[in-house]
Amino acid sequence: MRHLKLILKYILAAFFVLAGLNHFRNDAFYVKMMPPYLPWHLFLVYLSGFFEIAFGVLLAIPRQGAIAAWGLIALLMAIFPANIHMAVHAELYPQFSATALWARLPLQAILVAWTYWYTKESELESST
């Protein structure tokens, strides 16, 4: 089980690093996701991308995983309003079905749970 957990940790870390890099490659898409009540859309897109990359890298480093996991959970909570905005205003995102946009919301809970699994690193670190 420890090996599976370790493999899934690296997959999760890579997911966040790649997602963060995409904030810089495709910033216009992420700016469009931003709820209008938030200021500094482009800055927030870059900031969230930076932290996805940073925490994703830290997640893969032994003894840094737990703090990185808590950072990623906080980040997932911080970006949740953008996902809600997309679901509620599906007409602004015709490239996605309304069903897909609503389905993303519970998937975020799965990401939080998966990330939470790494907030207690001691058992994983003792196996490496």
pLDDT at 120: 87
pLDDT at 105: 95
Q: How far apart are CA 62 and CA 81, in angstroms?
A: 31
Q: How far apart are CA 107 and CA 16, in angstroms?
A: 14
Reply yes or no on whether the pLDDT at 7 is more than 90: yes
Reply yes or no on whether the pLDDT at 123 is more than 70: no
Q: How far is CA 124 from CA 2, 12, 71, 77, 118, in A?
A: 6, 15, 18, 25, 8
Q: List the structure tokens of 3.
A: 């090996």
Q: How far apart are CA 78 and CA 119, in angstroms?
A: 18
What sign results for the dihedral spanned by CA atoms 116, 29, 49, 24? Answer: positive
For residue range 21-38, what is the model confidence (pLDDT) as tens digits?
A: 999 999 999 999 899 999
For residue range 101-111, what is the model confidence (pLDDT) as tens digits?
A: 999 999 999 99
Q: Whose CA is closest to 58, among 112, 20, 27?
A: 20
Is the distance from CB of 98 to CB of 88 less than 8 angstroms?
Answer: no
Average pLDDT over residues 113-122: 87
Predicted TM-score of the model (pTM): 0.88
- Percent of the chain having pLDDT more than 70? 94
What mean pLDDT, rounded, does the chain reach?
92
pLDDT at 13: 97
**The residue to which tokens 């700016």 are assigned:** 31
For residue range 66-87, what is the model confidence (pLDDT) as tens digits?
A: 999 999 999 999 999 999 999 9
pLDDT at 128: 47
The SS3 of residue 1 is coil
Average pLDDT over residues 86-93: 93
